[in-house]
Amino acid sequence: MIKLIERIGRSTIAMTESLGRASLFLWMILVGLNTFVARVSDVTRQLFNTGVLSLPIIMVSGLFVGMVLALQGYNTLKDFGAEDALGVMVALSMVRELGPVVAALLFAGRAGSSLTAEIGLMKTTEQLSALEMMAVNPVHRVVMPRFVAAIVALPLLTLIFMSIGMLGAHLVGVVWLGVDAGAFWGQIERSVDWHEDILNGMLKSIAFAFAVAWIALYQGYESIPTSEGVGRSTTRTVVQASLWILGLDFVLTALMFN
């Protein structure tokens, strides 16, 4: 019994310590934002790495998610003679939930893991120490540009995911299954609210981007500088970021739509 209490105590202390270090790390990033102007070129380069290079997986996934939603939705709505509502069903699912959540999960797998591995390897190859020795704060030079780039990139990728998803739904619903194009797009225009749906979806996306970037960069920065250590940190990034996205999604949905 005492051993169990000991173990719980030890893991609680470790968790609190880790949370404290992560908070301090976040604070250092936020302080580093005052060097943003001097680091614009670094941010742009990271926008390419995290954003542009994530485009293929986001676009292809968006297309398929939209197509599958349309196919499943059509089969259900047809039973009630409500095929014309297919567009709005897909649009609301995409804008409120699937767009922000699936894009963030894909982003965590594609860009988050890459951020962790890259920074972990920079630590392993002493590049972060080299920056310190050149009197350059590695958080300002390496971490802050990646953090800003991730927060800008994910909402944009989410918008692209949603748009391509709607295109996929149009291909299946209108072109293949014969739903009336006017009804499909007209109902979307009438029912999807700019503030209630699109803005809230984007807010979710920004929150997810914040969580993924924070977790990925912290895991990379704190990784044990060995190949095994970097591998473990990369896995932790994908697992933790995915769980945080889903948990945050529930909380934000409850706050926004309840």
Partner 1 sequence: MNAIELKHVSFNRGNRVIFKDVTMQIPQGKVTAILGPSGTGKTTLLKLMTGQEVPLSGEVKVLNTSVPNLKTKALLALRRKMGFLFQSGALLTDLNVFENVAFPLREQTQLSEGLIQNLVAMKLQAVGLRNAAKLMPSELSGGMARRVALARAIALEPEIIMYDEPFTGQDPISMGVLVKLIRELTDSMGLTSVVVSHDVAEVLSIADHVVILSDGCVIAQGTPAELEASGSDWVKQFLHGNPDGPVPFHMPGQHYSEDLVAQ
The footprint of partner 1 (CB under 8 A) covers 45, 122, 125-127, 129-136
Q: Which of 141, 177, 188 is nearest to 41 (CA)?
A: 141
Query: What secondary structure letter does DSSP report for 83?
Result: G
The least distance separating partner 1 from the CB of residue 128, rounded to whole angstroms, comes to: 9
Give the type of residue at 194.
Answer: W
Give me Rg for the CA atoms of the chain.
21
The span from the CA of 110 to the CA of 107, in Å, is 5
Q: What share of the chain is helix, strand, coil (3-state, %, to 5)?
A: 90, 0, 10
Q: Nearer Cβ to partner 1, position 142 or 188? A: 142
Q: Nearer Cβ to partner 1, position 28 or 71? A: 28
Q: Nearer Cβ to partner 1, position 161 or 221? A: 221
The least distance separating partner 1 from the CB of residue 116, rounded to whole angstroms, comes to: 16
The least distance separating partner 1 from the CB of residue 11, rounded to whole angstroms, comes to: 19
Half-sphere exposure of 97 (CA within 13 A, CB side): 14
Q: Nearer Cβ to partner 1, position 41 or 258? A: 41
What six digits make up the tokens of 29?
Answer: 């990033």
* Distance set, CA 135 to CA 34, 101, 132, 217, 225 (Å): 17, 40, 5, 21, 21
The least distance separating partner 1 from the CB of residue 125, rounded to whole angstroms, comes to: 5
Q: Which of 163, 116, 118, 140 is nearest to 42 (CA)?
A: 140
The least distance separating partner 1 from the CB of residue 44, rounded to whole angstroms, comes to: 13
The least distance separating partner 1 from the CB of residue 156, rounded to whole angstroms, comes to: 23
The torsion angles phi and psi of 51, rounded to 5 degrees, stand at -90, -65
* Distance set, CA 26 to CA 74, 155, 205, 254 (Å): 45, 20, 19, 26
Q: Nearer Cβ to partner 1, position 111 or 122? A: 122
